[in-house]
Amino acid sequence: MTGRKMADKKGDSGSESDSTEEPVVGNVNKFAVVPPGYNGRPKKGHLIFDACFESGNLGRVDYITEFEYDLFIRPDTCNPRFRVWFNFTVENVKGDQRVIFNIVNFSKTKSLYRDGMVRIPAKHVYYYRCPDHRKNYVMSFAFCFDKEDDIYQFSYCYPYSYTRLQNYLDNLEKKNYNFFTRELLCLTVQQRRLDMITITNPDNLDPEETKRIVFITARVHPGETPASYVCQGIIDFLISNHPIAKTLREHIVFKIVPMLNPDGVYLGNYRCSLMGFDLNRHWQEPSPWAHPTLYATKNALMEFDRMDFYIDLHAHSTLMNGFMYGNTYDDIDRYERQTLGGCLEDNSHCYTLEVSFFSYQTNSSNMKLGRNLARTFLDYYKLSGIISTKPTSSIVPKPGPYRLRDRQSERDQSNDVGYEESRQQRRSSYRNSEFNINNTNAFSETPTSIRLQLRDRENKRY
């Protein structure tokens, strides 16, 4: 660390730009910022910055005065273009110590900071062009440390780490719900898990059953943490005691990949993977070694004869509220490059759900948005007429060793004629539904290559 200022050159377009200056590499690690010429151990009030933890990001701190510090975001690994996400702690403060922090090297010019996104009083926050940093946009905020013994954490948005997700999924798996399974699709470059969960009534996994499939993914861009809160809200609702959740489980197969970019999340990147790839630009030809999570997820998608919905969850840094994007490009080449639109069946619905980094003030609000997204499928599939009027204790089966993989053995041992008649009636109702899903078997039973699957699809189409 040095006292010399460094700034990144960028335009005023609002998009990411390349840096022509010396790069910021690595996170600060218990770095004490002391006045120039000072020797000895840091005194109380000499701030200690740290970002060497999971999802942390702060590359450099410059001392300006005892009241002011310039902070530099560490760019995404192997990709200096992206500098948005920050997440760091400050300690060794004095009570009532007042400071100004300037975050000086954002790679975007447009920001919701102008609309008050920082969750401290708006009169203490400024977002402006700074002549000291080549007229780059700087976000400055004043802060008062009120308790000496506290460690203060600052981040671009509420963090949601890889470890948090793993603990959440571990706890769900321990409940042994018969409608919930978790499987490992692959390991990342750094050997982290890519999980896919399935939430549905076990009967829906019968190979002879016609399936309504909704596939949901999140966190392809690691810094977009609101997407994880939305995703958890979806999962929490679908496994809940609510009668709508039970009805959805009875009629729909939900496949969810909660974190498409575990390495990027762990490293504290904003948009890229460990190797510097924006994974959302590599769906068409994912590499099994460079983009293993996309490759595995796309193979999982290709296993289905028909899929009703694919929804990818994101967060937006310049717009408010929550909204959806769909594929409406007239240029078919652009349509197929940007999304999964060219890989799915023509009658599959492919959407991106964006939730603002700012509009939802708390984690619980984002989770409620996820809950409400799940509830919309009740209307789409016209299932409201069969919903239970009152929740009962039997809506969620009691935890136990009973799992989806035990279903077939149980069925083989069952001689319950009434159960079999009920199953046949339900299968018939699926086939007669307005939203009947055709079992076209577009791909081989055990796909091994995305290229072969796409080629087979083209052959069947023409």
Instruction: Render pLDDT for 103-154 as a digit per residue (tens, 0 to 9).
Output: 999 998 888 888 888 888 888 999 998 888 888 889 999 999 999 999 999 9
Residue 56 pLDDT exceeds 50: yes
Cα–Cα distance between 72 and 60 in angstroms, integer? 5
- Of 180-184, 344-348, 403-407, the poorest mean pLDDT is in 403-407
DSSP state letters, 32-54: E---TT--SSPPTTS-EEE--ST
pLDDT at 455: 42
Radius of gyration of the chain (CA): 25
Are 375 and 244 contacting, i.e. CB atoms less than 8 angstroms apart?
A: yes
Average model confidence (pLDDT) across the chain: 81
pLDDT value of position 218:
98
pLDDT category of residue 388 using cuts at 50, 70 and 90: low
Predicted confidence at residue 393, as pLDDT, reads: 40
**β-strand partners of 49:** 31, 90
Share of the chain above pLDDT 90, in %: 60
Q: How confident is the model at residue 22 (pLDDT cuts 50, 70, 90)?
A: low
CATH class of 162-389: alpha beta
The pair of structure tokens assigned to 315 is 């967060």
Residue 354 designated active-site: yes
78-97 confidence digits (pLDDT tens): 999 999 999 999 999 999 99
Residue 335 pLDDT class (50, 70, 90 cuts): low
Q: Of 354, 421, 434, 458, which one is the catalytic site residue?
A: 354
User: What is the pLDDT, as a whole number, of residue 203?
Assistant: 92
Give this prediction's pTM.
Answer: 0.78
pLDDT score, position 23: 65
The pLDDT of 283-292, averaged and rounded, is 94
Please identify, in words, the CATH class of the domain defined by 31-155. mainly beta
Backbone angles phi, psi at 321, to 5 degrees: 65, -165
**What is the reported pLDDT for 360?**
56
Strand order in the sheet with 60-65: 60-65, 68-72, 97-103, 136-145, 125-130
Task: Report the distance separating Cα 180 and Cα 174, nearest Å.
Answer: 10
Instruction: For the chain, give every domain's residue range.
Output: 31-155, 162-389
For CA atoms 411, 216, 249, 212, give the dihedral sign. Answer: negative
* Beta strand ranges found along 266-366 (DSSP E): 309-316, 322-326, 349-356
